[in-house]
Amino acid sequence: MRKKPIENYIVDFYCSKLKLIIEIDGDSHIGKEKADYERQMKLGFLGIKFLRVSDLDVKKNMNGVIIELYRKIGEIESDMKQPPLIRGNEW
């Protein structure tokens, strides 16, 4: 497993081009949902997106994980192509 430090956190996988963290949640996350949520929110303020998958899906439903990963990548790439919001009378 490839760990990556970002700010004061260690994440499972990170794609800097898409600013996407992929977290694989297993038994070690049980009871830590609040801390995981707070970490995700703090990193989200940096413009980083998350894809969370369960370790069971990785083990038993890798095709579903891959489909979800492609969906998330498509969503992020679509957002990246959107023009910036126009404010006031600026063009």
**All structural domains of the chain with their residue ranges:** 4-81
pTM of the model: 0.79
**At the top level of CATH, which class does the domain 4-81 belong to?**
alpha beta
The predicted pLDDT at position 32 comes to 81
Q: List all residues 6 or more positions away from 77 whose beta carbon is below 8 Å from its beta carbon.
A: 18
> Tell me: the pLDDT tens digits for 51-83?
999 999 999 999 999 999 999 999 999 988 877
Angle, CA of 34, 39 and 45, to the nearest 5°: 130
Whether residue 24 has pLDDT greater than 80: yes
pLDDT for 35: 87
